[in-house]
Structure 1
Amino acid sequence: MSTSVTPRSVWRHSVLRVSVCLESLGGDVDQLLQKFGLTLEQLFQPGYRVPSHVLNQMMDQCQLETGRKDFGVLAGQQTPVTNSALGVSVRASNNALEGINRFKKFAPVIESGAVFKLQCLGDTHIMNIGGWDERFNTSMLDAMVSSICLAVNYLTPDGIKPLHITMQQSQPENPATWHEFLAESIEWGASTTSIAWKSEALLQPRLLADERTALLNDALMEPQLQQVLRNSLTQRVEAQMAAHLEDGAPTPELIANDLAVGTRTLQRLLKEDGTTFKEILKLLRQRYAKEKILDSSATVSDIASALGYEDPGAFSKAFKTWFGLSPSEYIEKERDLSKQ
């Protein structure tokens, strides 16, 4: 299996939002860009991308210069200097749910490691925002959540706010800006970042919808999506598998659908990357099993079921094949090592 990790990157529009926000707060954009080796000419080039860690550092610098801990939220509320094809297609969507699904599909273009998962629970739609390899910088995550809330607000008849948001960060000393632009109900220090909306509002038809314009701009986004997916395919496949792992064994068809590629294309690209779907799934299961087997609250049956094994005995046999020890032997060995 290929072990190389593709550095994460963001599209140029995220940097432009930051620049507009800094200028609105009286900061020096030219000085900021120069500090990080960027120019406006670069940021106006279609398809130009910036390493994610550079944007993280830029946002930290902006927070420091402006003294605004809420800089990420404010940046997400800014209109970019140039319209992106994604922005146009989202605004032309038939309803807000279609717009959210476009964010989900093209999330890797916004940030190459982003993994968005959308689910419907009763009368509520929930978008979970995560990523492979590392957690998002707090300000960057604020900006991402803020920009999605802004778009959905635009797409709904009454400009609704989310019903509820969960954020992984600790509660800020003054969360007023988060409540003003994101939601009244925010859970801080959560295990995941998510946004929940009332489904009825998301499905309201829009008078300004233009499906032809939306589809044309989707087509403009496709080459960027395919390039980003190709550059980080193995990591993204693993991230999508992990998101589905406890719902049952993920299939190539399911993961291909998540990544908006054909099943055969997915298998071919993984082969070119030096791995296979089965190999990634096996390694993911091994890592999951290793982590969970030492959790005293999880039984062997629980772990077996989460990994798609109907028979705990079959899981135990697989575990011994992977690590040379049965689950009980592995636990005993780890306990002995911890005492040394």
Structure 2
Amino acid sequence: MKHFKLTALTLGLVMTAVPALAEVTTVRLAKQFGIGYLPLTLIEEQGLLEKHAQEAGLELSTEWLRFTGGSGMNEALLSDNLDIASGGVGPLLTIWARTQNNMQIKGIAALESMPLYLVTTDPEVQSLADFNSSHKIALPAVKTSIQAITLQMGAEKLLGEGQHGALDAFTVSMGHPDAQLAMMGGQSEINAHFGAPPFQQQELKDEGAHKVLDSFEVLGGPHTFNLIWAKNDFIENNPQVTAALMGALEESIAFIKENPEEAARIWAEAEATNLTHEEIVELITDERVNWTTTPEGILPYVEYMSRSGLITVSTEDWRDIFFETVHDTDGS
């Protein structure tokens, strides 16, 4: 039997003969409806991800998909039909907890902090205690969306311990555009909607609608509404693409802050909306809205969801839920 000795030179030749694993050339991203996805709309419409990738020497294309809720995105992510998901804190924490021992899905960055309103057209409903079996509350996904989780947290806070699920039976999964039409049309069983901007603001312009719950009041302060997340393998195998994504996101957020008028115009052209330009600018510049990649108010959701059994793992460090892309921010 012959034995071969690998010298440092031959070993080096062998190693250099094996090319480094190439990064993806197409990124599949998804977003939902509402002004909260404005940073992603700008990335898509202005080609910012392609731009930052090209600056890094990469040829990259993007495919954009649309979903009505975070749970559907998670299914697409798990089945390898999506690379970058977006949605509320609830769906992120659900998939984060579910995949800690395998795919290790985590958050990449926040998109903004923004209040969410529960709106109803029933004049008899002035608090959560007034809801009963005659009511149907539309929200993106029953029990898993950030609206559903916030509703449970609000029920526990306002109705008492053990009452977190008191309104679950009245909730219905429905995308924001359809929910708004159903509730405001008056011809549907839907008479309440836990929505998001701009739908909640549009609803409140009608004298027959009023706000029942404010998510900032439930959380005791501002909190992240939307985020983006991905599998650990995608982030590890595509460091340059990930850096380009963060660069694109930071550029889009800076653009929103510096050019709200132009950001409003771009969003209006990209989305089917009957909002006026002034109304969109008002939403973008709302003093309660903070366009930022920094996660905010994540831990109260973690604490509630783990305590109530919605997720089976917990943490006291928000960084455990996110990749290093935002670890140097002042998150919470």
With the length of structure 2 as denominator, give the TM-score of the two structures.
Answer: 0.28
The structure with the greater share of residues assigned to helix is 1
With the length of structure 1 as denominator, give the TM-score of the two structures.
Answer: 0.27
Higher RCO (CA 8 Å, separation ≥ 6 residues): 2
